[in-house]
A and B are shown apart, each in its own frame.
Chain A
Amino acid sequence: MSAVQAVTPFETIRTPDAASRPVKIHTVAVKVTYGQKEALHGVSIDIPEKAVTAFIGPSGCGKSTFLRCINRMNDTIAGARVEGTIKLDDQNIYDPDLDVVELRARVGMVFQKPNPFPKSIFDNVAYGPRIHGLARSKADLEEIVVTSLQKASLFNEVKDRLNEPGTGLSGGQQQRLCIARAIAVSPEVILMDEPCSALDPIATAKVEELIDELRANFTIVIVTHSMQQAARVSQRTAFFHLGHLIEEGPTDHVFTNPLEQRTQDYITGRFG
Chain B
Amino acid sequence: MEHTVSAYDDDLKAIARMVTEIGGLAERAVGDAVEALTRLDTGLAQRVITGDKELDRLQREIEDKAILVIARRQPMASDLREIVGAMRIANDIERVGDLAKNIAKRVVAINGVFPHKQLITGVEHLCEIALQQLKKVLDAYASQDDQAANAVRLRDDEIDALYTSLFRELLTYMMEDPRNLTFCIHLLFCAKNIERIGDHATNIAESVHYVVTGRSYEDERPKADASIDSTVAGS
Q: Are the C-beta atoms of B1 and A256 separated by less than 8 Å? A: no
Q: Does chain B have a CB within 8 A of A270?
A: yes
Q: Does chain B have a CB within 8 A of A156?
A: no
Q: Are the C-beta atoms of A256 and B80 separated by less than 8 Å? A: yes
Separation of A32 and B210 alpha carbons in the complex (Å): 40
Separation of A45 and B74 alpha carbons in the complex (Å): 28
- Interface residues in B191-235 (C-beta closer than 8 Å to A): 213-215
- The stretch from A91-99, A142-150, A257-265 touching chain B is A257-265
- Interface residues in A242-261 (C-beta closer than 8 Å to B): 255-258
A-side interface mostly: helix
Return the CB mask of B50-67 against A: 1 if under 8 Å, else 0.
000000000000000000
Q: Are the C-beta atoms of B77 and A257 separated by less than 8 Å? A: yes
Q: Are the C-beta atoms of B4 and A269 separated by less than 8 Å? A: yes
**B82: nearest residue on chain A (CB-CB)?**
A268
**Residues in chain A near residue B128, CB distance under 8 A:** none
Chain B nearest Cβ from A100, distance in angstroms = 38
Can you report 7 residue pairs joining A to B where beta carbons are below 8 Å apart?
A227-B74, A227-B76, A256-B80, A268-B79, A269-B76, A270-B3, A271-B4
Contact status of A231 and B76, CB under 8 A, knowing A270-B2, A271-B4: yes
Q: Does chain A have a CB within 8 A of B71?
A: no
Separation of A164 and B2 alpha carbons in the complex (Å): 52
- Interface residues in A196-222 (C-beta closer than 8 Å to B): none
Q: Are the C-beta atoms of B214 and A257 separated by less than 8 Å? A: yes
Q: Are the C-beta atoms of A256 and B4 separated by less than 8 Å? A: no
Q: Does chain A have a CB within 8 A of B132?
A: no
**Residues in chain B near residue A267, CB distance under 8 A:** 76-77
Q: Does chain B have a CB within 8 A of A16?
A: no
Q: Does chain A have a CB within 8 A of B172?
A: no
Chain A nearest Cβ from B30, distance in angstroms = 33
Q: Are the C-beta atoms of A270 and B4 separated by less than 8 Å? A: yes
Q: Does chain B have a CB within 8 A of A272?
A: yes
> Which among A256, A265, A272 is the interface contact of B214 at CB below 8 angstroms?
A256
Q: Does chain B have a CB within 8 A of A137?
A: no
Separation of A217 and B206 alpha carbons in the complex (Å): 41
Q: B residues near A, CB below 8 A?
A: 1-5, 8, 73-81, 213-215
Separation of A271 and B79 alpha carbons in the complex (Å): 14
**Residues in chain A near residue B215, CB distance under 8 A:** 257
Chain B nearest Cβ from A196, distance in angstroms = 16
Q: Taking each of A263, A270, A272, which has the highest tally of chain B beta carbons within 10 Å of its own beta carbon?
A: A270
Chain B nearest Cβ from A272, distance in angstroms = 7
Q: Taking each of B8, B74, B76, which has the highest tally of chain A beta carbons within 10 Å of its own beta carbon?
A: B76
Chain B nearest Cβ from A123, distance in angstroms = 40
Separation of A152 and B17 alpha carbons in the complex (Å): 49
**Residues in chain B near residue A271, CB distance under 8 A:** 4
Separation of A268 and B75 alpha carbons in the complex (Å): 7
Q: Taking each of B1, B77, B81, which has the highest tally of chain A beta carbons within 10 Å of its own beta carbon?
A: B77
Chain A nearest Cβ from B9, distance in angstroms = 9
Q: Are the C-beta atoms of A269 and B77 separated by less than 8 Å? A: no
**Residues in chain B near residue A227, CB distance under 8 A:** 74, 76
**A228: nearest residue on chain B (CB-CB)?**
B74
**A264: nearest residue on chain B (CB-CB)?**
B77
Chain B nearest Cβ from A96, distance in angstroms = 44
Separation of A263 and B78 alpha carbons in the complex (Å): 11
Chain A nearest Cβ from B85, distance in angstroms = 12
Q: Are the C-beta atoms of B3 and A264 separated by less than 8 Å? A: no
Q: Are the C-beta atoms of A268 and B74 separated by less than 8 Å? A: no
**B215: nearest residue on chain A (CB-CB)?**
A257
Separation of A256 and B83 alpha carbons in the complex (Å): 12
**Residues in chain B near residue A256, CB distance under 8 A:** 76-77, 80-81, 214
Q: Are the C-beta atoms of A272 and B77 separated by less than 8 Å? A: no
Separation of A258 and B1 alpha carbons in the complex (Å): 15
Q: Are the C-beta atoms of A268 and B76 separated by less than 8 Å? A: yes
Q: Are the C-beta atoms of B214 and A268 separated by less than 8 Å? A: no
> Which among B5, B81, B213, B214 is the interface contact of A269 at CB below 8 angstroms?
B5
Q: Are the C-beta atoms of A272 and B74 separated by less than 8 Å? A: no
**Residues in chain A near residue B79, CB distance under 8 A:** 268
